[in-house]
Amino acid sequence: MKAWRRWTGLGALLFLAAAFNILFWTEDFFVLPVMAPFAGGLALGVAWLAGVLLSVARPGALEGRTVGGLNAVVSSVVFLGICVVLYMFLQSWKVSWDLTQEGRRELSPMTQQVLRNINAPVEVTCFFLRVDDELVVIAREKTRRFLEQCQQHTDQIKIEELDPTVDRARLEAMNITHASVQGTVVVKSGGRQRVILLSGGSPRLEEREFTNALINVLRDAQPKVYFLTGHKERDVQDDKGEDGAAMFAKLLAGESYQVDRLAIKLSDPQVPADCDVLVIDNLKSDLHPLEMEAVDKFISAGGRLLVLLDPWRSVTPGYGGGEQLRPWLERRFGVKVGSDIVITDKSDNIWQLELTNDAKAFENTEQGFMQFHGCFSAEHPITRNFDQTVLLKAVRSVDFAQKLPEGVAGTSLLRSVPDFWAETDTEKLLTTGKARLNEGERRGPIPVAVAVTQKVPVIGSPKGRSDTRVVVVGDSDFTSNTQVVVPGNLNFVLNVFAWMNESEDLIAIRPTGQEAVPLVLTGGQRRTAAWVGVMLTLQAVAACGAVVFLLRRKHQ
């Protein structure tokens, strides 16, 4: 009887182990390869239990080891039952955690700020196919988690998830003629909507795209930005060369700005009435006096101007035999754009100016102690909370005259570290690439960007603005296609536009793209990973326990 119990018990364990191992590979309990060994194991288990109960019924059996063994068996069965119930509960509990770097990161300060400032209902409709495709499942789950994270900062967002094949009428009602098979997200508020198509090898709802969509649907109007042309400026339509500005224009469009080019006609010199911001980006020849008159008239009516000026080897003089733009900036706003290049001899790259909020470099100077945090103004909204690195190359100084014109207020936005100086022999520097600090040349810290405002009569402003706003930077390379994508450069220049358009709620650190390619496993790979993590581990532990038991029994 004892041998019979031993073999039936061992057979039950082996059959059940085989059934569970096969179940992991088939992922279907109700198939013959799983049901047959499971039924055999169950039958042998019942037979073994019957043998145990018969042995207990014998006189004197309760005084032996049988009771202890029976207690162990009952305890094991109860524990196994608890594990099965817990497993079934967890299987039905639709909760998961994204432990990837992408899933753990917090929303950017700008996204949080935009969400907190939402003052109108926003509908977010997600169209995902109900299929088992791994990429679609990943995109759907990541989108759901991201939107739930956004809802923690506002109660104005309503989320709805639909299947485009089932709810085709809703898709067409939104005038969406093409939907991505990996997912389509529609952001709508009032009569404005933006469509985001998920695609690529790692489809997901990018935080940057969603934040830009929110800005677009929540804005009542789209500010118009004109880039001046006709003087060999950086071209906003050039998306091929490294020196183009197409990426700059794309980033502005992402934050709901309309971007266009402007060539001021000498026959009718004027800036269009719909212009909100005029940009002069790296002009190579000076403006005509009639062009300056048009710019001056635009500014006098509450216009906004961004001037980005690289150091010149030589400038084509304006009509009349002299420069136009720089003297106008000094005369009109007290802004002095230097005929120099800010460089250092403490680095291999003498041209590169790296601006951070680290105050250690300024420990031996008291200049601007209260007004700056590192290289950034601590007083101005553009840079007040700025904590990223701005990279400038071949920069000229931009400072204020000793006395500003009446009604003008100005702030230095950016400055170099003390190791830099303003080299005035630019011709030699640009020819040889070498320079040294001479007596009389200005030592750092040197201001390289300023912001000014000037009060204007509200009656004289077509857009009802009470002031003129101008930003001048002694460099333009940081807005080129290859450089504007640097997070610090991007945030600085877009903060400038937010301030000039009185959209202080958009002055923040923007989200960056996160390239986190998911690990997509085949069905076989996924089942192998599950089997190794569960069944192989359990069976290895059981095997080790059996070996220890047999060895102890043999040597006792």
More confident position, 378 or 14: 378
pLDDT at 101 over 60: no
Confidence of residue 483 (pLDDT cuts 50, 70, 90): very high
Peptide bond into 445 cis (omega under 30): yes
* pLDDT value, residue 361: 82
pLDDT at 512 over 70: no
Question: Which residue spans within 434-485 are E strands per DSSP?
Answer: 447-455, 467-473
Rounded to whole angstroms, the Cα distance separating 494 from 511 reads 12
Confidence of residue 202 (pLDDT cuts 50, 70, 90): low
Rounded to whole angstroms, the Cα distance separating 106 from 166 reads 34
pLDDT in tens, 353-363: 999 988 888 87
Nearest 5°: CA angle at 189, between 185 and 193? 50
The DSSP 8-state label assigned to residue 413 in this structure reads: E
More confident position, 67 or 229: 229
What are the residues whose beta carbons fall under 8 Å from the beta carbon of 248, sequence distance 6 or more? 234, 236, 281, 479, 480, 481, 484, 493
Q: What SS3 class is residue 324?
A: coil
Residue 65 has φ and ψ, to the nearest 5°, of: -80, -10
User: What would the two tokens of residue 248 be?
Assistant: 């700059």
pLDDT at 187 over 90: yes
pLDDT at 70 over 80: no
pTM, 2 dp: 0.71
* pLDDT value, residue 522: 62
More confident position, 502 or 49: 502
pLDDT in tens, 405-448: 998 999 999 999 998 999 888 888 888 888 888 888 898 899 99
Q: Which of 297-306, 322-331, 365-374 has the lowest mean pLDDT?
A: 365-374
Nearest 5°: CA angle at 440, between 434 and 442? 70
Confidence of residue 23 (pLDDT cuts 50, 70, 90): confident
pLDDT at 122 over 90: yes
User: What would the two tokens of residue 527 be?
Assistant: 């089942």
Half-sphere exposure of 493 (CA within 13 A, CB side): 31
What long-range pairs does 526-530 form, CB within 8 A, spacing at least 24?
527/24, 527/25, 527/27, 530/24
Confidence of residue 545 (pLDDT cuts 50, 70, 90): confident
What are the residues whose beta carbons fall under 8 Å from the beta carbon of 186, sequence distance 6 or more? 123, 124, 125, 126, 127, 174, 176, 193, 194, 195, 196
Confidence of residue 94 (pLDDT cuts 50, 70, 90): low
